[in-house]
Amino acid sequence: MVQRRLVDHEVFAADDSDRLRSTALALRLFPGGLSFTQLKFVEEHAHSERLLQIIDEEDLRDDLDRLVGERFMEELSAAHADYGVVLGITSAPKAEPPVVSMLERLRELTQAIVDYALQVLAYSRTHADHLALAQRALEPIDVFREAARRASSNGRRPSDGEATHDDDYALPEGAPAPDAPVPAVPEE
């Protein structure tokens, strides 16, 4: 866009000062035209970076703002910066990864278990025949509660680097695996 806007000044008289300055700038910045846009992305970015350095080092920005337009030049700079980020050449400061509160997740899990148990208990009160089904649906909670009680009564959990015995913390016989689905409560 910058090169084209510079070349557009050729419509003016050969001795026009803007045409002369535009021609000089086009030859300085784009001696090969826009062929650099056919380079590999990283090479194209490097070439564009060099053009921006020339503009700064040789104080060409005022003339380019006047001849090309300040808004176009600002857009060129912004697009170049964005292109560098997209290519991974330059990057915005990386945000710190969010801190995940395991306590909050544990509270959510606990609340979900409570909600589940309340629903099952409410179901069990709708009819006397539902009591056995409710007990079966709540059994995994009872099994894990008992396993936790036994583990805590065996003493403390081992610290880092201390030997562990899987049997000390094994689930009780018949306990469902932690990833086992919750038993379905059959419909009447």
**Please, are residues 68 and 5 in contact by the beta-carbon 8 Å criterion?**
yes
| Same domain for 101 and 83 | no
Percentage of the chain with pLDDT > 70?
81
Same structural domain for residues 44 and 118? no
For the chain, the domain total comes to 2
Whether residue 92 lies inside any domain: the answer is no
- Identify whether residues 111 and 188 lie together within a single domain: yes
pLDDT of 182 > 90? The answer is no
Which structural domain, as residue segments, surrounds residue 73?
2-87
Flag whether 32 is in a domain: yes
> Which whole number is the average pLDDT over 17-37?
90
Same domain? 102 vs 188: yes
Q: Is 46 found in the same domain as 21? A: yes
Structure tokens at 58: 């040789």
Which of 33, 57, 87 represents a domain boundary (last residue)?
87
pLDDT at 92: 61
Is 153 a member of any domain? yes
- Write down the mean pLDDT value for the chain: 82
Q: How much is the pLDDT for 62? A: 93
Distance CA 156, CA 133 (A): 36
Q: What is the torsion angle, in degrees rounded to the nearest 10, for the CA atoms of residue 62, residue 67, residue 71 and residue 75?
A: -90
pLDDT of residue 21: 93
Taking 80 as the threshold, does the pLDDT of residue 32 lie above it? yes
Whether 134 has a pLDDT exceeding 60, the answer reads: yes
| Separation of alpha carbons 106 and 104, rounded Å | 5
Both 68 and 108 in one domain: the answer is no
Q: Are residue 56 and residue 7 in the same domain, yes or no?
A: yes
Residue-wise pLDDT for 148-177, tens only, equals 777 777 655 555 454 444 445 566 666 666
What angle do the packed helices 41-57 and 70-87 form, to 10 degrees?
Answer: 140
Burial of 25 (0-12, 13-18, 19+ CB in 10 A): buried
| Contact call for residues 90 and 81 (beta carbons, < 8 A) | yes
